[in-house]
Amino acid sequence: MQQNFNNYTKEDWEVWKILFERQVNNLKDKSCAEYLSCLTQLTNELKASIPDLTLLSTKIFNENGWSIEIVPGLIPVDNFFSLLAQKKFCSSIWIRKKSQLDYLEEPDMFHDIFGHIPLLLDTNFGSFAQQLGTIGVQHKNNPQVLLELQRLYWFTIEFGVLKTDQKLKIYGAGIISSFQETNGIFDKNTVILPFNLDEVIATDFNNMEIQTKYFFIESFEEVKMALSAYAKRLLVVKK
């Protein structure tokens, strides 16, 4: 698939601008420093208008070896993990409507690009994402492992929280790209637990509603180490 700028409507351009400007301001005191630093590196590519994914892909490839793979929407999990293992992150090219500014159930281009791409410039985070994909490829015929990896992906890369200086900050793309979720995550009814690999991979999630349960880590190195331990455990079981 290719991105065709002639297919974008006036509303599409307006929506991107609204989403970007509003969320950048909203994240100043809510997002982790790592995400904000990476976002700053991509400001020129993202702030003005709908980004050119070819140019953006070249930029992140030159920075950290990642690239963007354009997809029609959600793809099979084994294909997704295969792309992650190759340091390719999926992105759709459609934009939500103005009526969907605050929350969207299905990921659009703003979620994929604004939410996910910046942190791939962080070496530890990018390494974790690639490692997760590699394990998915190695166990692509094991439904239970794939389910556990999806849960791990969900509660880290999509809806992860980072604790730094005794403060909880968001880094998961599902929160980062959602105005409603960003403003609701620290609600008194929200549960935010310390990261525990076994609990995470045993916890179901619902991708059609605002989350009410999250897990926080204290560094990206923490989840890298947990994932490495999980991979070793799988090898022992396989033998």
Q: What is the tens place of the pLDDT at every residue in 154-212? A: 999 999 999 988 899 999 999 999 999 999 898 888 999 999 999 999 999 988 788 88
The pLDDT of residue 102: 85
The stretches of 42-194 forming alpha helices (DSSP H) are 43-46, 53-64, 77-85, 109-110, 123-138, 143-153, 173-176, 179-184
Q: For residues 78 and 146, is the Cβ–Cβ distance under 8 A?
A: yes
- 3-class secondary-structure state, position 190: coil
> What dotted CATH number matches 8-238?
1.10.800.10
The stretch 84-100 carries a mean pLDDT of 95
Measured CA to CA, the distance from residue 215 to residue 200 in angstroms comes to 8
Task: Cite the beta strand spans of the chain per DSSP E.
Answer: 67-70, 88-91, 161-164, 167-170, 191-194, 213-217
For the chain, the domains span 8-238
pLDDT tens-place string over residues 28-77: 999 999 999 999 999 988 987 899 999 999 999 999 999 999 998 888 89
Return the half-sphere exposure (C-beta side, CA atoms, 13 A cut-off) of residue 61.
12
Q: Is the pLDDT of residue 239 over 70?
A: no
Burial class of 80 by CB neighbour count within 10 A (0 to 12, 13 to 18, 19+): buried
Q: With a cut of 70, say whether residue 237 has pLDDT above it.
A: no
Q: Is the pLDDT reported for residue 1 higher than 90?
A: no
The residues facing 69 across adjacent strands are 90
The whole-model pTM stands at: 0.94
Classified as helix, coil or strand, 206 is: coil
Task: Give mean pLDDT, residues 122-151.
Answer: 96
- State how far the Cα of 51 lies from the Cα of 19, in Å rounded to an integer: 13
The phi and psi torsions of 89 (rounded to 5 degrees) equal -105, 135
Q: Phi and psi (nearest 5°) for 134? A: -65, -45
